[in-house]
Amino acid sequence: MKEARSFLGWSGFVFLLRMGGAVTVLLTQVLLARWMGAYELGVYVFAFSWLILLSTAVGLGFPMASMRIVGKAQHEGRLGEIRGFVRRGRGISLAVGLVVALLGIAVVSWLPLGLDPDRRQVFVLAFAAVPLLGVMRMHERVAQAHGWFVLAMLPNMLLRPVLFLLLVWVVVRAGERLDARGAMLLHAGLILGMAVLHFVVFARRLAGVLGRPAVTYRDREWFATAMPLLIVTLFSQYFADLDITVVGLLLPPDQLALYNAGYRVALVITFGFLAVNAVLMPRVARLYAAGDTAAIQRVVRLATLVTFTGAVLAMAVLVVFGREILALFGSEFVPAYRSMLILAASQVALAAIGPVVILLSATGHQRQCLRVFAWSLLALVVSSLVLAGWFGMEGAAWAVFAVTLFWGFSLRRAVRESMGIESSVLNLRPVSV
């Protein structure tokens, strides 16, 4: 009972943070759509999706490996290894981030991509922010592994969206014209300030817990764990941004803005299970290190029941009020209603399947995801090319739905075979190992 109260308590806290942040992001995009128009918004969200994906990738999986490596090191009392892991991950995120930023800026600046000067500057600003956000992501994941959910979740989940909304509002109230370049300039500057502040707070908190033990490195083991997790995380947590970068190559900016609006509204369904998963992952890592499979099954059963119930309720709200919600962006966004429902249905399916990626990632079975996600990435690109080319936004949404079902059920089977855990709502009884 105490375990359930603690789990639900922290999950509720993260849920509120995520809901506040997501509502703020939706409100910001509504206002940007009204102030900039669909075309400028489409350019902005395409560039920002690249920023999100690249800042996730430059850590080479080290941020994602924090749950596994830090949790295990804590359990075994190897504090010097945690210091070494943080240093290595931070250095990789910064170094690779700088290289990626320079390459991206060179590509958009020198190659004939058909971008006018203003559009080029939007992407230059997005690429410049990549190493900053990459380092910040590393620190956030280590904080999450320690159970410091405020430090891990508050900055990017709520504080950054709220501050960005305030900055945008101030600019518009001052009578300035806002376009994609101006919005990205505001966001890049905000990321710079927050990354510096977060680094200071995180470094002090970590030093207070670890002290100054001798630093140790286990690079071969860390890279072997981290690299597979990068692919896993891009699919499981940043799939929407991955899809936007693909669809953005196929649809004109104004259509991309409509598709993105529908997708962001559909992602309301993920509030519950992403909040639960944020608490679930470090807990599963500790229980697995202790060899307590029965406890893992109990906490997974609870997590799936909570998230699936919330997903069904959220889907019902979107079916009834979806058109009205899209109309907040402007009347031109209402045609995204059907694609929004298709995308929302894919999120309900994930909630029903359960936290399969969390289970495999937190217990060292992440390599089982690689083949599934490799085929899924290929399927997403091919199906998007065909379906989005033929049917526009709805075709792109059906591509997401089909790919989501494929990787979700494939990984559910992998969890049952490798761990003896049943994650889905299809059968919530304990499974013998």
Tokens matching residue 15: 């849920």
Q: Give the largest Cα separation in the chain, rounded.
A: 65
Helix axes 38-57, 117-128, angle to 10 degrees: 30
216, HSE (Cβ side, Cα atoms, 13 Å): 13
pLDDT reported for residue 318 = 94
The single-letter code of the amino acid at 108 is: V
pLDDT of the residue at 125? 95
Domain of residue 282: give its range. 2-419
Mind listing the pLDDT tens digit for each residue in 161-183? 889 989 988 988 888 888 889 99
> What's the confidence (pLDDT) of residue 58?
94
What pTM was computed for the model?
0.78
Distances (CA, A) of 31 to 45, 132, 252, 310: 14, 26, 21, 27
Task: Output the CA–CA distances (angstroms, integers) from residue 378 to 383, 384, 385, in the order listed.
Answer: 8, 10, 11
Per mean pLDDT, which range of 164-178, 190-204, 262-276 is the poorest? 262-276
CA separation for the pair 225, 64 (Å, rounded): 9
Over residues 356-371, mean pLDDT: 78
Place of tokens 């909570």: 306
Q: What is the average pLDDT value for the chain, to the nearest integer?
A: 84
Q: Tell me, what's the pLDDT at 431? A: 43
Look at residue 132 and tell me if it is in a domain.
Answer: yes
Residue 362 scores a pLDDT above 80: no
Confidence label for 279 from pLDDT (cuts 50, 70 and 90): low
Confidence of residue 112 (pLDDT cuts 50, 70, 90): low
Which pLDDT does position 153 carry in this prediction? Answer: 79
Which distant-in-sequence residues (6+ apart) come within 8 Å of 323 by Cβ? 334, 337
Q: Is the pLDDT of residue 259 over 50?
A: yes
Count of CB atoms within 10 A of residue 14's CB? 25
* pLDDT at residue number 367: 73
Task: Flag whether 432 is in a domain.
Answer: no
Q: Is 284 helix (H, G, I), strand (E, B) or coil?
A: helix
Residue 272 in domain: yes
Confidence label for 37 from pLDDT (cuts 50, 70 and 90): confident
Q: Where are the alpha helices (DSSP H) in 146-252?
A: 149-154, 160-173, 180-210, 219-236, 239-247
Confidence tier at 1 by pLDDT (50, 70, 90): low
Query: Is 381 strand, coil or helix?
Result: helix
- Asked if residue 433 belongs to a domain, the reply is no
Mean pLDDT of 191-201: 93
For residue 429, pLDDT beyond 60: no
Question: Does residue 432 have a pLDDT over 50?
Answer: no
Q: What does the alpha-carbon distance between residue 359 and residue 369 come to, in Å, rounded to a whole number?
A: 11
Q: Which amino acid is at 364?
A: G
Average pLDDT over residues 206-226: 82
d(CA 216, CA 231): 26
220 vs 319: which has the higher pLDDT: 319
User: Is 427 within the bounds of a domain?
Assistant: no
Predicted local confidence at residue 126, as pLDDT: 95
Question: Once rounded to an integer, what is the mean pLDDT over residues 47-53?
Answer: 92
User: Residue 207 — very low, low, confident or very high, per pLDDT cuts 50/70/90?
Assistant: confident
Give residue-wise pLDDT tens across range 395-420. 999 999 999 999 999 998 988 888 88
pLDDT per residue as tens digits for the range 73-93: 777 777 888 888 989 999 999
Counting the structural domains of the chain, the total is 1
CA 433/CA 431 separation, integer angstroms:
6
From first CA to last CA, the distance across the chain in angstroms is: 24
Residues of the chain with pLDDT > 70, as a percent, come to 90
Kindly state whether residue 278 falls inside one of the protein's structural domains: yes
Q: What is the mean pLDDT of residues 334-350?
A: 93
Mean per-residue pLDDT, 372-381: 88
Cα Rg for the chain, rounded, in angstroms?
21
pLDDT for the residue numbered 115: 66
The C-alpha atoms of residue 187 and residue 57 are separated, in whole angstroms, by 19
- Does residue 430 lie in a domain region? no
426, part of any domain: no
Whose structure tokens read 């991950």?
89
Q: What is the mean pLDDT of residues 368-383?
A: 86
pLDDT bucket at 159, cuts 50 / 70 / 90: confident
- Tokens linked to 64: 């994602």
Q: Which residues contact 118 (CB under 8 A, 6 or more apart)?
A: 179, 180, 181
- Residue 351 pLDDT greater than 50, yes or no: yes
Query: CA 128, 256, 237 angle in degrees (round to 5)?
Result: 60
